Amino acid sequence: MDGILALCHFCETHGPCVILCTQRSKGEPLQTPHTLTVTWCEACQSIDLSQALVSRDDKTTYVTTRTPQQQDLAFLLKQAAVRSLSCEEETSKEGGTLYFGDNERGHVISHTFTLRDSLARGFYRKYSIIMLMKDKIHLLNSWPMLVKNMKEVVKELQTQADAVNGEEQAQRPQRALRQAQGLSRNSARSLSQLTGRPAVFGHIHLWFTWMLSCETVVEKPSVGLPLPPFRSPSVLRKLAMEWEESVFHVACFCTVTGYRMEIDNSLVEDGFKILLPVNFTPLHSAPVCRLRNDGAWVAEWSGQLPPRMPTLVVVAEKGLKNEQLPDSALVPYINGIVLKWLHIAQSIHWSKGTNPQLLQALGVQSHDMPLINYWLTQLSLNK
């Protein structure tokens, strides 16, 4: 599923609802009836259910409708709107950006905000912009671009709403009157009324279309670095079983974090390289770790092991020491671990920053950062 952008509103009558949404379409938009009940009032209305705003480029059509054209997406988007505006939200009055989701209901980046309205309960109306995707990694990879542009959209809407509210208060101050008399029965107002822009939904369509057309948001096959060619894990398994644990940990840690390794035995050296993607080279500035065999293998290294090893090493060692796991199954096991962390590093590299929320969502902890920092360096060198 391609990403779908939506504008949501917490209606004082109907609760959280989707005002409109924009999605890619390969052909002409087809308005199909939904069994979902779409209730609306002046505050949560945008365009008619039978209408669609359409933009096209050379290859893609971008369609904005009141609800998604596919019923299953309409249901998922409704759930995301409810969570965005009533469950998963920033506690600050200004709102903010959050990630939430799962593989069944989709993954969401949500940016909540408020607009001034002298007729609304609390003198503010609550909205959110959400991006819904099935692909968690791709969504989080798009985080910086999405958040930046969501904030630009919100800033423009808030500027327009503040101007309208200021004019209303100057002509007829209502705050004191509202506080004395309570909520007016005819308080529902649409976004176009709040901003003073009759074509505001057309502008939002253009904003959302531009965001969906950005290269970082368009889903495309990932062209990653290839994994190492087939190597038998039997050598590395033997080392894990026979070496002293501290020596084995030093060798693994130095390998996956970019330290230069000097090993007289080429078979042993190749055994540890199975923990890395192909074409990764040691950091020239890193200290040297020397492994030599004096009857028993010892490590000469000026560094110190961290209290916790990187997750890749921990998981790989667990498989190597599992006697119930045959060598034939160990190859895809190790390659799968390396591929997972390669994709994590690629996502962080594409996002051009180590955003704490992105790292948390990807499962990266502090003890994984030495590995991540080295792999990011290698990804930069192997563009």
Ranges 20-34, 95-109, 168-182, 321-335: which has the least confidence: 168-182
In the predicted model, what is the mean pLDDT of residues 198-215? 90
Element (H, E) at 216: none
In the predicted model, what is the mean pLDDT of residues 50-61? 85
**Is residue 290 within 8 Å of 299, Cβ to Cβ?**
yes
At residue 251, the pLDDT reads 95
> Is residue 373 scored above 80 in pLDDT?
yes
Nearest alpha-carbon partner for 141 in 332, 295, 343, 368:
343
239 phi/psi in degrees, rounded to 5: -65, -40
**Tokens 């921990």 label which residue?**
314
Who has greater pLDDT, 348 or 370?
370
Give the integer Cα–Cα distance in Å for 115 and 95.
11
Question: What pLDDT, in 10s, does the model give residues 128-161?
Answer: 999 999 888 788 878 888 889 999 999 999 999 9
Query: pLDDT tier at 234 (50, 70, 90 boundaries)?
Result: confident
At residue 357, the pLDDT reads 77
Query: pLDDT tier at 185 (50, 70, 90 boundaries)?
Result: low
In the predicted model, what is the mean pLDDT of residues 55-70? 86
> Is residue 93 scored above 80 in pLDDT?
no
| Signed CA dihedral, 250, 251, 255, 258: sign only | positive
**Tokens 């309570």 label which residue?**
182
Give the integer Cα–Cα distance in Å for 95 and 36.
29
Percentage of the chain lying above the pLDDT 70 cut: 85
In the predicted model, what is the mean pLDDT of residues 189-213? 91
> Is residue 25 scored above 50 in pLDDT?
yes
At residue 109, the pLDDT reads 93
At residue 89, the pLDDT reads 64
Question: What pLDDT, in 10s, does the model give residues 250-291?
Answer: 999 999 999 999 998 888 988 999 999 888 999 888 889 999
**In terms of C-beta density within 10 A (0-12 exposed, 13-18 middle, 19 or more buried), how is residue 124 classed?**
middle
Taking each continuous run of H as one helix and of E as one strand, the counts in the chain are 13, 10
44 phi/psi in degrees, rounded to 5: -110, 15
At residue 38, the pLDDT reads 63
> Is residue 22 scored above 70 in pLDDT?
yes
At residue 33, the pLDDT reads 46
Question: What pLDDT, in 10s, does the model give residues 281-293?
Answer: 998 888 899 999 9
At residue 381, the pLDDT reads 83
At residue 248, the pLDDT reads 96
At residue 197, the pLDDT reads 92
At residue 351, the pLDDT reads 73
> Is residue 36 scored above 70 in pLDDT?
no
Query: pLDDT tier at 189 (50, 70, 90 boundaries)?
Result: confident
Who has greater pLDDT, 353 or 345?
345
Question: To the nearest whole number, what is the mean pLDDT of the chain?
Answer: 84
At residue 176, the pLDDT reads 61
